[in-house]
Amino acid sequence: MTDSTEKGKGSKKIVIIGAIIALVMVAMLVTIIVLATSKGKDDKAEEESRPVLVTEENAEEVLADIKEQDAAATVAPGYYTVTMNTTWHFESGDVASYDAIVENVEGNTNDVYFDILLESDENVVLYKSPIIPRGGKLKDITLDESLPAGSYPTVVEYHLVDENQVSLSTVRVGLTIIVER
């Protein structure tokens, strides 16, 4: 009798845990749907869409639809989403950084290049990048100007370019360069 009682308790726990997990998933999906559908309410030109009621039967399908919509989203023309770390470390002023990364994400609408300018004197250009195509990533960056040990506040000036590499607009971001020795 003890074995069947223990088996009954074990199966009740599994059912309760499964029900809690299902409720949490449904709550998360409803939250995602509400947030996703409330983004464009201010834009009257867009066709109004209604949220989908999430049930246990359609939860996976709704989640797949949301992921597909997010993957298809792009950045508006003339804007740029910067994917980079904001502090770059260099063992010395004449070697490649071991943690500098700049990525032109696939969702951007333009290829880019960037210049790194010394914040205290923007006439001093520390680095000029090559063109980074959409989906491209630049790492192992070595400065064009060797710097002595220290911490340097800089400005990264991104240039969004068209297919002829003509600059369309710029985006400026702060960056700290640390030269260790």
> Which class does domain 82-179 fall in?
mainly beta
The sign of the dihedral angle between the CA atoms of 16, 21, 24, 29 is negative
Q: What is the pLDDT of residues 98-114, one digit of tens each?
A: 999 999 988 888 899 99
Q: What is the pLDDT of residue 131?
A: 95
- pLDDT value at position 118? 97
Whether residue 141 contacts residue 88, with contact meaning beta carbons closer than 8 Å, is answered with yes
pLDDT at 20: 75
* pLDDT tens digits for range 39-76: 555 444 445 567 677 777 777 787 777 666 655 556 66
Of 54-63, 67-76, 80-89, 145-154, the one with minimum mean pLDDT is 67-76
**Where in the sequence of the chain do the CATH 2.60.40.2550 domains occur?**
82-179
Give the highest mean pLDDT range of 33-42, 58-67, 82-91.
82-91
